[in-house]
Structures are given as C-alpha cells and as structure tokens.
Amino acid sequence: MRFRPLAPADVPALAAMLGSMEPWISYRVDGPAWERLLAAVPPGEEALVALDGDDRVTGYAQFSYKGAFCLSGYIRTLAVDPGRHGGGLGRQLLAHVEELVFARGPNVFLLCSARNEKAQAFYRAVGYEQVGCLNAYVLPGEDELLFRKTRGPIRKQ
C-alpha cells in the first residue's frame, strides 16, 4: 500500500465510493456532498489516499494534528473500498496516519457512530479505547462514541 495527498483527479471516484458507504448513507452525506467536502479540505487538515499495487485508490484518511481540543490528533474520516474490507487495508492506512500523528504528540482521537459496530470492533482491535459518548452530537437520537489511542500524557508532569 502506498499513500499520497488527495489530488483533484481523485475526487469524483472517491466521492462516489464514500457516498455509497455506511455510515455516510445514514448520515445523508451522498456522493455530491462528498465531492464538495473533498474539494474543500479545511486548512490544517491532511487528506491522504491509499493506493494499491495498480495505483487504484483503495482508502482515504482525513485528519489533523491538533484537531482534538487544539492539543491532539483527530481523525475525521477513515475509509477503505467496500470491496476490500477485512483485508488489512484499514489497519495499514490507520497505522500510517498514526505514525504521522504520534510523531507530533502522544494522543489521537476520533468519533465513531454508536450504530457503527463494525468500525468500533476495528478500532478496538487496533488499540483504541472508548473514552466518552457524545449524545445526539451530529443527528438527533444518534450518539457518537469518542475513541482515543494514547502513548501517554501530553506533559511529563
């Protein structure tokens, strides 16, 4: 697996892929909405695509180094091509993001829908712990679980 920054030419196919997947179907973020989001990644956020041996885009990660509490890494989006789930690509993509984030600080956070039990199992399997629950944060009646992976506190004392 190789990684490189998201390029404008990636956007149409990647947006179609993300818009066809859970949890974004349930959150009503469809392909056109993803096209707008991917075309305007906010300043301070990194957007990376994962490529297979044939240079096909097989995954996407969007994250920031200080996106959690202005102190710690925050992963906004992590996704693997649905046809490739369960093949270890998510683990590799996340490990790459973590390598970048942990080079700048000892914590990384993310939110995962309480309904998204597959992703929760994935995050637990790769070392994340649920540290909170944001009730009805994005949508009414839908809770977001806060996950953290840590190598220790920010300060020594």
Ligand X SMILES: CC(C)(COP(=O)(O)OP(=O)(O)OC[C@H]1O[C@@H](n2cnc3c(N)ncnc32)[C@H](O)[C@@H]1OP(=O)(O)O)[C@@H](O)C(=O)NCCC(=O)NCCS
Residues forming contacts to ligand X in the complex (CB under 6 A) are: 21, 23, 78-80, 85-91, 112, 116, 118-119, 121-122, 125-126
- What's the token pair of residue 154? 């920010």
Distance between terminal CA atoms of the chain?
39
Supply the minimum distance, in Å, between the C-beta of residue 44 and ligand X. 20
Close Cβ partners of 93 (under 8 Å, ≥ 6 residues apart)? 1, 3, 48, 50, 59, 61, 78, 80
Please tell me what DSSP assigns to residue 82: G
Nearer to ligand X among residue 65 and residue 128 (C-beta): 128
Nearer to ligand X among residue 121 and residue 154 (C-beta): 121
Nearer to ligand X among residue 65 and residue 122 (C-beta): 122
Supply the minimum distance, in Å, between the C-beta of residue 18 and ligand X. 8
Nearer to ligand X among residue 99 and residue 155 (C-beta): 99
In this chain, which residue has its C-beta nearest to ligand X? 90
Supply the minimum distance, in Å, between the C-beta of residue 40 and ligand X. 20
Could you give the CA distance from residue 24 to residue 2 in angstroms, rounded to a whole number? Answer: 25
Q: Name the phi and psi angles at 118, rounded to 5.
A: -65, -45
Supply the minimum distance, in Å, between the C-beta of residue 9 and ligand X. 21
Supply the minimum distance, in Å, between the C-beta of residue 128 and ligand X. 10
Nearer to ligand X among residue 116 and residue 150 (C-beta): 116
By three-state DSSP, how is residue 35 classified? Answer: helix
Strands 72-80 and 45-51: unpaired
Could you give the CA distance from residue 45 to residue 3 in angstroms, rounded to a whole number? Answer: 16
